[in-house]
Amino acid sequence: MYITTLPKVDLHRHLELCVRHSTIRELAPQFQIDLPNEESFKERFLITQPMKDLNSVLNKFLDTQKFWSSTHLIERLAFEACEDAFRQDGIRILELRYAPTFIRQGHDHLSFEEIHQAIVKGVNRAEKEFPMAVGIICIIQRILPVKEAEAVTQFAIDHKETFIGLDLADNEVGFDSKPFAPFFLAAKKNGLGITVHSGEANVPNAPRYVREAIDYLGAQRIGHGVQIYRDPAVMEYVKEQNVILELCPTSNWLTQAIPDLTQHPFKKLKDFGIKTTINTDDPGIFNIDLNHEYKWLHEVLGLSVFDLEQCSDWAAKASFIDFNKKSKVWPRPIFS
């Protein structure tokens, strides 16, 4: 189909949760994970129906975390993430994000430095092999103590040559943006791009959280932000501030951010004049790819190929990857 051949951009993809399925099957026995059949694989590693309880989902994250256990494997998984993005989806501009604290949580024999250098090695190898530009975003987990956030920020700043941006992820409820403001300010001063997971879950204050991410953290892009459709004033604010939304439709359905895929406000937000981009979030665990999201927007929400390309061009422009580097792999001019 025509859509599969479109050059694409993914700005919102979690490295830890896009492990290639055949690699999971291959590695599982080494990690004492028994996968006798397809059903057990699905049960243990995939989320394909809207989540009911958080615990079962967390277990899937922790099982996937097990594979990030050595620099050798980390390099391989990072390379494969890029290779799959290029070969399956035709992604030319790829931003992968990861939380150093999440990988180390399962493997405390590894330092942030070792983890990061292994990822950079895998990504560099992929960039040599495929005509794509890849950037790495560092994630702060907002549920961890603020001290940890400070250490992660410093790590990102110390490696600003190999990180393109800083992100804040995890549950927003009860974890205000304000305490993180000095870290994001410091990151911005050091030239890192700022994107923040916000306005994802369907909670009463979701639109307000998005406004705070822009005001306190200087977010240029919002991870999800889907809930702002419920508040015209915040929609207006996002548009006026020229903040980009990294929308991830299937993810929003599976996490129950929206009740039904056909009710996703993607088109409403785009028609309002907000720059919407199309992303996968956790393609491995959600069993999707970017083609899937494009096709769904095209076939169900009625976005034309022109609309899809417009979203891709916005994403190419909004990417934190160096302008010359991304321009080389993008088929159309990127207007700076």
Count residues binding Zn ion (CB under 5 A): 1
| End-to-end Cα spacing for the chain | 31
CB of 113 to Zn ion, least distance (A): 24
Angle formed by the axes of helices 54-65 and 38-45, nearest 10°: 100
> How far apart, in whole angstroms, are the C-alpha atoms of residue 134 and residue 120?
10
- What SS3 state is found at 332? coil
CB-nearer residue toward Zn ion: 24 or 99: 99
| Angstrom distances, CA of residue 139 to CA of 115, 142, 151, 170, 214 | 13, 9, 12, 10, 17
Name 40's bridge partners. Answer: none
Site string for Zn ion, 281-300 (x = CB under 5 A): x-------------------
CB of 14 to Zn ion, least distance (A): 6
CB of 252 to Zn ion, least distance (A): 11
CB-nearer residue toward Zn ion: 172 or 281: 281
Touching Zn ion, residues 244-283 (CB under 5 A): 281
CB of 224 to Zn ion, least distance (A): 7
CB-nearer residue toward Zn ion: 212 or 281: 281
CB-nearer residue toward Zn ion: 187 or 285: 285
Q: Which of 160, 88, 162 is nearest to 130 (CA)?
A: 88
Tell me the three-class secondary structure of 187-237, residue by residue: HHHCCCEEEEEECCCCCCCHHHHHHHHHHHHCCCEEEECHHHHHCHHHHHH
CB-nearer residue toward Zn ion: 98 or 130: 98
- What SS3 state is found at 185? helix
- What SS3 state is found at 304? coil
Is 200 considered catalytic here?
Answer: yes
Q: Which residue is nearest to Zn ion (CB)?
A: 281
What are the two backbone dihedrals, phi and then psi, of residue 243, each rounded to the nearest 5 degrees?
-85, 135
Q: What are the respective helix, strand and coil percentages of the chain, to the nearest 5?
A: 55, 15, 30
Query: Which one is catalytic: 75, 127, 172, 200?
Result: 200
Radius of gyration in angstroms for the set of CA atoms belonging to the chain, rounded to a whole number? 19
CB-nearer residue toward Zn ion: 61 or 272: 61
> How far apart, in whole angstroms, are the C-alpha atoms of residue 167 and residue 320?
12
CB of 64 to Zn ion, least distance (A): 14
CB of 169 to Zn ion, least distance (A): 6
Active-site annotation, residues: 200
Which chain residues interact with Zn ion by CB under 5 A?
A: 281
